[in-house]
């Protein structure tokens, strides 16, 4: 289940970047910048949950094991 959620968040970040390009071209510069910031925050959240620590364990792996 968590893999599906993280996949959806990555797809959301990609869609936000694409939407930001169209918004920027349409003259909505502030909204485009905010969309890029939101995409970066979403990407960082995925990275936090999936990148392993010094012990080689990702937080997502510990949750799936129940620790």
Query: What pLDDT does 67 receive?
Result: 62
Query: What pLDDT does 47 receive?
Result: 94
pLDDT by residue for the chain (67 residues), tens digit each? Answer: 788 999 999 999 999 999 999 999 999 999 999 999 999 999 999 999 998 888 888 888 888 787 6
Distance (Å, rounded) from C-alpha 2 to C-alpha 63? Answer: 9
CB within 8 Å of 17: residues ≥ 6 apart: 35, 36, 39
Query: What pLDDT does 35 receive?
Result: 98
CB within 8 Å of 48: residues ≥ 6 apart: 59
Question: What number of other Cβ atoms are within 10 A of residue 23's Cβ?
Answer: 19
User: To the nearest 5 percent, what fractions of the chain are helix, strand and coil?
Assistant: 80, 0, 20
């Amino acid at each position: 289940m968590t893999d599906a959620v993280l996949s959806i968040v990555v797809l959301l970040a990609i869609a936000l970047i694409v939407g930001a390009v169209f918004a920027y071209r349409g003259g909505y510069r502030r909204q485009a910048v905010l969309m890029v910031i939101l995409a970066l925050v979403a990407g960082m959240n995925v990275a936090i949950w999936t990148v392993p620590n010094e012990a080689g364990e990702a937080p997502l792996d510990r949750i799936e094991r129940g620790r």
